[in-house]
Every structure is written in C-alpha cells, then in structure tokens.
Structure 1
C-alpha cells in the first residue's frame, strides 16, 4: 500500500522519484504480466504486440485491485499531448498511470511496451525498441516533464540479460553508448529491472527510463 495518508501532496508528475512509488509501478508491471500468463494460455511469444499489451493492461488492473490501490488509475492506449496546444493527441503510449494524490490532469507515469528477441535473425526488434520506444521519451513525445518513466520489454526468446546485451549492442552500433541499459540489482526482489539515463532533446533536461 502506498503510504499517502497523512502526507502532503507529493507535487506535480515530474517529481515522481519516491522509491516506494517506483516499486509499486514495477510490481504492477511484473505481477500483472504474471497474472496475464496464468489466466490466458494463448499468451505466447508468437502473439502480436497489441494483444500482449492488452493482457498486460488487464493484469495490471487486476493486481491493482487486489492490492487495494484505489488511488491509482491505469489507462490503456490513451492519447497524450507533449504540449497543451494541439486539439488532437500527438502520441499514443501503451499504458499510462495516474495517481489521484498528485492532482494534475496528465499522466504521472508512462509505460511503453515493445517486443525484444536476442536470438532473432535478422535483427529487427532491438532497433525498434530504441527507435519506436526509447526515442519517443528522448524526443519529448512521452512524458516531456517527467524525471522518470517506464518501458516494458517482452522477451520472446532467450533471457533478460541476453535481451539487455542485445539492445546495448544496437546502441553501440549506432554510436549511442551513453543511452545503454544497466541492471538495477537493488530491485532484484521485484524482477529483472534495468535503467538508462538520457537527455531530452527538446530542452536538454536529464531523465531516466526503467526497463
């Protein structure tokens, strides 16, 4: 349970840096996926990405309800506006998380989901993970005011360390070693979590992604 009762507001979304909040969001991801795998025997690596995203969303909602987190709202495939002006959303991340105590009418955490397969040949998915995933945050399309956001990597074959290595090889190949992923051993109790540090191109502000 998030210890909000009796505390003052934690501020706007960009200040989402509390360890307990981050751990709760990661738990929703990992336990939500576990729930999805248990309830849907057809959830296999050959399923398409939107199907996986839908099951992850349903699993996260189920876990949220079981944990009694009534102050957290999870939304599937919503539109977001990096700037307030446009009438139509400019981007559509896979999942967003809203926390009522923050009070702002915008996502407090954005989760972009991509498939990866360190054993695939030819290599396609690792580049897509970067270009259609990480780069959307780096370019300010997702979470332009956030200090931290999230990506989910569906590892179709191999294991998580191999997937991390594969993504990092791609980043080195395209001369972007500073965007490499590093393992976060402090979160081993939740699952295999990596982090990467970036500078947003639109305003040169640093931020982190948790993978």
Structure 2
C-alpha cells in the first residue's frame, strides 16, 4: 500500500515537503543576503547572478550538503543533433536523489515585478510561468519555482496582477493560493497548471522585496 511519502511518477522528479521548504528558505535567505549588493536599475540577469552567489554562501553557512546550487542551466534537445539551446533556466538546484540525472533538477525562474507595471508583471507570466506550462522548463516535473523580484510595493498589487493574468491565460483553476509566508518573503503562493496538455505541475511563487536600499531610503 502506498504511503504519502512514496513519490509518484519518476522519483528523481519528485520533491518532499522538507525539500520544497528548503528551496523556499534558500531563495528567501539568498535574496536577503544579496539585497545590499544590488544597485538601482540593475537588470534581471546581473541581479540573479548576485542572488545565486548569495544562495551558495547561505547554503554553506547552513551546512547543507544534500544539494547543489547550479548556475544558469542550458536546456538541449538530447534526442537530436540540433546544436541550438532550447532555453536557459535562471537557477537550478539538485538534491541527492537527483544526482546523475541531467533531466532531474529544481527549476527556478526569476522575474522582476513592479506594482503598477503591466509590462513587467505580464512578462512574469508570459516569459516565466508559460515556460513551465509548455514544458520548455521542468518537463514532467512535479514542481517548479518562480522567484519574483519586487521592485516597487505594495506586493499585494503585484500578486493580484499576476494572479489575474494567470487566471485569464490558463483558466480559473490555475489561480494562485496563498501559502504560509516565509519571514523574509513578501508573499508565498502556489498554483497548479497543466503542462503539455496532460501533466500537472505545481508552481511555487515566492515574492521578495528587492528594492535597492538607496531607493527604499528615498521613499
């Protein structure tokens, strides 16, 4: 008889509750560690590089030896000789049970969001969430993660805009549900989406305050 702790589907694609909590904790603590090193106007890619390095420092401080944090992950079509890159995931992690399987990883897509900015908030869905829905990222995985760098508050305005866009694009059932918040996050939410028309993938959305200190002090 199956128990709740027994993974369904491909075991290397599954994550336990503790592993999911570890990812959220590392993202939040990494962003908090990275924030003092950000500058006004810093774009998404350099911000993520700073965050990724900070996450590795946090991981070392916490003594976590059961996972590795990797750099930008390039996706290739392993079934053909096509040399083109299918996409690049901002941050990937691998837990011990995923080592040795290049297709098994924890995908984290990072996007800047901004209260009242329909372009950035729309891109979070169109160029972030949608890559999980189409299977471009995390094909067949049970979980994926979106990390929202909130550049202007209030976060509730951002969450409402993203949730509305997701519901409009993928249906009401794809709407976001608030989860227990991390002390260093503005909001943590979850939603389920149908990937490639058949597989259900759950996305954890973590929104963090990434307003550079210099700007925050002027408001």
TM-score (norm 1): 0.83
Where does residue 33 of structure 1 map in the other structure?
A: 31
Unaligned residue ranges in structure 1 (runs of 5+) = 1-8
Following superposition, the deviation at residue 104 of structure 1 comes to 3.6
Note closer, same or farther for the CA distance 1:43–1:26 as it changes in structure 2 (3 Å cut): farther
Aligned residue pair count: 195
Where does residue 211 of structure 2 map in the other structure?
A: none
Match of 2:133 among 138, 144, 153: 138
TM-score (norm 2): 0.80
1:15 and 2:14 are equivalent in the alignment: yes
1:61 and 2:61 are equivalent in the alignment: no
Give the CA RMSD over aligned residues: 2.4
- Write the mapping of 1:151-166 to structure 2, written as runs, cut at 5 A: 151-166=146-161
1:99 and 2:95 are equivalent in the alignment: yes
Note closer, same or farther for the CA distance 1:175–1:61 as it changes in structure 2 (3 Å cut): closer
Following superposition, the deviation at residue 158 of structure 1 comes to 1.2
1:183 and 2:178 are equivalent in the alignment: yes
Note closer, same or farther for the CA distance 1:31–1:84 as it changes in structure 2 (3 Å cut): same
List per-residue Cα deviations over 1:57-115 (Å, max 9, x = no partner). 0111111111111231111212124x531444411110100123333422420000001
Moved more, 97-106 or 146-155: 97-106
